[in-house]
């Protein structure tokens, strides 16, 4: 249950923060979600990771598909991913997910320290 809660909260906060923050708004979102909704062990990383990976892939897909993936095909050569557009979506998701996951872990640790002090 807390996993779903954290997942949803990360997504909502990410949507809100990136309206006015740069790309690292997703990190702030994952950090806060992690601090509010504590997760155990590896899920502290993987839940925000999945949330933002999904968010970025879906968002990128929406932007790119409406333009026939013209730029995605070129960036997939530039980066270099041998022109594989799916690899580019995957990379985009992982970069977003990774930063969110790490921020989520940090949020959890802050929460852990503070709850310990409070108790």
Interacting residue ranges for other proteins, rule: CB under 8 A: 18, 22-27, 31, 56, 59-60, 63-64, 66-72, 74-75, 77-78, 91-92, 95-96, 98-99, 102-103, 105-106, 108-110, 112-113, 116
Smallest gap from Cβ 6 to other proteins, in A, equals 16
Q: Is the dihedral of CA 55, 57, 61, 64 positive or negative?
A: positive
To the nearest whole angstrom, how small is the minimum distance from the Cβ of residue 31 to other proteins? Answer: 7
């Amino acid at each position: 249950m807390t996993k779903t809660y954290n997942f949803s909260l990360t997504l909502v906060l990410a949507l809100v923060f990136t309206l006015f923050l740069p790309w690292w708004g997703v990190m702030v979102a994952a950090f806060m979600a992690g601090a509010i909704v504590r997760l155990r062990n590896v899920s502290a990383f993987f839940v925000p990771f999945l949330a933002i990976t999904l968010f970025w892939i879906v968002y990128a897909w929406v932007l790119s598909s409406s333009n026939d993936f013209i730029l995605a095909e070129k960036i997939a050569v530039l980066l270099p991913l041998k022109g594989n557009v799916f690899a580019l979506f995957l990379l985009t998701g992982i970069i977003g997910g990774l930063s969110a996951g790490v921020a989520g872990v940090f949020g959890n640790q802050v929460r852990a320290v503070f709850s310990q002090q409070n108790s």
